[in-house]
Chain A
Amino acid sequence: MAGGTANVDVVKERAAVRAAIKKEFQKQVTNPHRHGSAEGGVLFDPAVQRFMSMRATRYDHFKPTPRSSLIGIAMLAVPILGYGWWMKTSRENFEAKCRTGQVAYADREFKFA
Chain B
Amino acid sequence: MTIRNTLRDHGQRYRPRMACLKKAEKVLLEMQDPKSGVKSQLQRLVITTIPHAITGEDIMAWLSERFQIDTQEARTLGSMLVALGYVYPLQDHKRLVLKSDASLYRFQTPYFWPVQQWPVEDTDYAIYLAKRNIRKKGILEMHEQEQYSRLHKWMNHKWDFIVMQAKEQYRAAKERKKPDRVVFDCQERAYWVVHRPPPGSVSAMDYGLDRRIDPNADEAKTPDFYERMMIFTQQSIMRPRVKSSVSIGALVKYCATYNNHDPFLFRCLPSNPWLTDDVTYWTLNMPNVDTPTKMRVERWTFSFGELLSDPRGRDDFRRFLKKEFSGENLAFWEGCEDLKWGAATTMKEKAEQIYKTFLARGAPRWINIDGKTMEITVNGLKYPHRYVLDAAQTHIYMLMKKDSYGRYMKSQVFKDTLKRAICPEEHKFTDAQLEHNSKNRRPSISPIILRQQELEERAKMAANAPMDITQLCRFTTPIPHLAVYSGITYSPSTNASSSLSTLAQPPAWPSPISVALDSTSTSERRVESGEADQDGEVGGAAGVNVCKSRMALSLRRLLKRGCGPSAVFASLSPKCHTTAGMSGRIQPISPDPPGQAPPRRMGNFFQIKVDIPPECRIYPIESEDEEDENRATVGAKEIICPWESLTPPNGTG
Chain A partners chain B: no
